Structure 1
Amino acid sequence: MDNDEFAIKVSGLKKAYKEKDVLKGVTFQVQKGSIFCLLGSNGAGKTTMVKILATLLRMDSGMALIEGQDVKKDGAKVRKRISLTGQFAAVDEILTGRENLEMAARLCHLKDYKMQADKLLRDFHLEDAADKRTAAYSGGMRRRLDIAMSLLGNPSVIFLDEPTTGLDPQSRNAMWNIIEELKESGVTIFLTTQYLEEAEELADQVAILHEGVIIANGTVEEIKKLSSTEYVIFTFNHHESMRKMIKMFVKEISGINEDDQTVSIEIKGGMKQITNIFTTMDQYGIISSSFTQKKATLEDVFLNLVDGAKENRYE
């Protein structure tokens, strides 16, 4: 691909705090106008990566370019092209939503700051609460206002560090819609998240960061192909049959949902294993109302890759 197709280019990036190596030679590229999702467990180095790319923290070595500008050498130019929404909404609770936006717009030296604030209030469905103090806003409203403020100045690359943490499902879905709309407008989104279903829903490209190293990188479908694991999910109408199932296949069961009365079994032995499961169920009178086969989700693959990396480290 041509270099101009990439909004972000990172190569051999390293960062250590005292004697602890946090990033150990990270390399990846992000296409313009796409949603890139960086996944990783707590402490994997996600926030450190975001801070370096947003010029808030200096790397020890390596290279990072944002729209062709060197993060290390041309920080001022990079900051004109980006915005960052951190893990906690950075709004002034004493001010109203409108006042927050107008203040941020004036700090960006925008002459039409009132017009910009009005537009963003409409775009982010905050008009009804525009003149209320943000201390009275819900978590989802604060997040929307925070992202609206980050769009002042028309950044071409937006960093969203765990933007939906702590939000209820309805607010999370609303945030997903906003992120999709930002992508459709041509903005490049760099997203970190703890929610694997969020990455599966939104991301054009996913990279998994584990202990400072990228252990997988590609589209969601490419990542999911790294695991051939399948599951059979049995649904039960009667608790007795479900209890028998759990007792009989306790070593093979990968998940139990008491509310839905389902039992999941990881299939490692192909059709032979599936045949043996049904034969055993028939022998012991275990009756399920239905069953479905399911391929590994992104969460399944993530956990397998991270667990596999841990096992390799201790071999």
Structure 2
Amino acid sequence: MIIQATDLKKTFTTKSRKGVQTVEAVKGVDLAVKKGEIFGVLGPNGAGKTTTIRMLATLIVPDSGQAVVAGHDLLKDPAGVRRNLGYVSQAGGVEEGNSPRAQIVFAAKIYGVADPARAAEDVLRRFDLLELADRPGRTLSGGQKRRVAIALGLVHAPPLLFLDEPTTGLDPQNRANLWDRIRELREMGTSVLLSTHYLDEADALCDRLAIVDHGVVVAEGTPSDLKREVSGDVVTLRLDELDRAAEALGPLARATRVDEDVLRVYLDDGEHTLPALLKRLEEERLELRSVALDRSTLDDVFLAKTGRSLRDTGAAA
């Protein structure tokens, strides 16, 4: 394992007119990340994702718990941890007044790279940034800045890279481009710990992931295994008398859930079970307004584990 974390906890104390308040940002997180994989931490804003990553990156000290990161003890050897990882924050850290080349060379010197200029040239080439290398940072697009930020985190060739919400604010084309870059890192042997609140991003990129909510891990596994655990298919029904419909269809389903104005019915084989569901509704004289059959998604997993939709928390599809 390149990351083995056990029972990490962090509480923040704030002062306001109402007095001293404490917030349990992380309540006891366990993570096991394998070498060479993209591991995702998925959850809504405020779930504790960034705090967890900042603890593992030695930027903040855990209140309790322990971890070994890239072969170094998080608490006993934080310098060793820092030498072996790259960290890209949500803000990215690209300076407006300096060129990407100057910033990357400076980062290489800080990390003690033997030939900073060559290392910068290599990483600029890898991320197709050579044509932009000497332009001021303020002239770069959002997608270009994210690529520069990742280049900054990789100039010293660390075995592990932390990406905190790497595609937030990017348009679809730049998101897709950055996804390809992250996949290339895995192919080159770099382990990636990625935090995101995007369902499609976690599904598309992650070999395995942990779903985090209110500072705890509520589910962990591969995206396909997590979705299979919930159900193979989900039928979404819009109709009156949702509770009566759920009771009527319960014997035909793995599970049913009333979610605001719809009824979700989880099935092992939706294609072949759907006709029986419709027949049962007709027998019960329950008038159907609409029906949709889909494969289970990570949002269905989040809903099953927490009782609410990840989309409803403000997270994007």
Taking structure 2 as the reference length, what is the TM-score of the superposition? 0.79
Q: Check whether the contact 1:12–1:62 (CA below 8 A) recurs between aligned residues.
A: yes
Identify the residue that residue 315 of structure 2 maps to in structure 1: none
Q: Check whether the contact 2:209–2:223 (CA below 8 A) recurs between aligned residues.
A: yes
Say whether 1:16 aligns with 2:19: no
Name the aligned partner's letter for residue 306 of structure 1: T
**Are the structure 2 counterparts of residues 126 and 26 from structure 1 closer, same or farther at C-alpha, using a change threshold of 3 Å?**
same
Identify the residue that residue 241 of structure 1 maps to in structure 2: none
Say whether 1:142 aligns with 2:137: no
**Are the structure 2 counterparts of residues 68 and 129 from structure 1 closer, same or farther at C-alpha, using a change threshold of 3 Å?**
closer
Deviation for aligned residue 1:292: 7.0
Q: Check whether the contact 1:39–1:193 (CA below 8 A) recurs between aligned residues.
A: yes
Identify the residue that residue 250 of structure 2 maps to in structure 1: none
Identify the residue that residue 104 of structure 2 maps to in structure 1: 101
Q: 73, 78, 83: which is aligned to 1:75?
A: 78
Say whether 1:267 aligns with 2:262: no
Taking structure 1 as the reference length, what is the TM-score of the superposition? 0.80
Identify the residue that residue 293 of structure 1 maps to in structure 2: 293
**Are the structure 2 counterparts of residues 217 and 231 from structure 1 closer, same or farther at C-alpha, using a change threshold of 3 Å?**
closer
Say whether 1:156 aligns with 2:154: no
Q: 175, 179, 183: which is aligned to 1:176?
A: 179
Classify the secondary structure of the residue corresponding to 2:230: coil
Name the aligned partner's letter for residue 91 of structure 1: V
Q: Check whether the contact 1:89–1:146 (CA below 8 A) recurs between aligned residues.
A: yes
Identify the residue that residue 41 of structure 2 maps to in structure 1: 38
Q: Quote the sequence identity (%).
A: 37
Q: Check whether the contact 1:33–1:187 (CA below 8 A) recurs between aligned residues.
A: yes
Distance 2:161 2:241 in 1: 46
Name the aligned partner's letter for residue 12 of structure 1: D
Deviation for aligned residue 1:254: 7.3
CA deviation vs aligned residue, 1:118-153 (integer Å, no higher than 9, x gap): 222211111222221110100000000000011011
Q: 143, 163, 166: which is aligned to 2:169?
A: 166
Say whether 1:213 aligns with 2:210: no
Deviation for aligned residue 1:308: 6.2
Name the aligned partner's letter for residue 294 of structure 2: K
Name the aligned partner's letter for residue 4 of structure 2: K
| Alignment RMSD (CA, Å) | 3.0
Name the aligned partner's letter for residue 227 of structure 1: V
Q: Check whether the contact 1:13–1:24 (CA below 8 A) recurs between aligned residues.
A: yes
Q: How do 1:48-67 and structure 2 match up within 5 A?
A: 48-67=51-70
Q: Check whether the contact 1:267–1:274 (CA below 8 A) recurs between aligned residues.
A: no
Q: How do 1:186-205 and structure 2 match up within 5 A?
A: 186-205=189-208
Q: Extract unaligned runs of 5+ from structure 2.
A: 14-21, 246-257, 268-272, 310-317
Distance 1:214 1:265 in 2: 26
Identify the residue that residue 26 of structure 1 maps to in structure 2: 29
Distance 2:240 2:230 in 1: 23
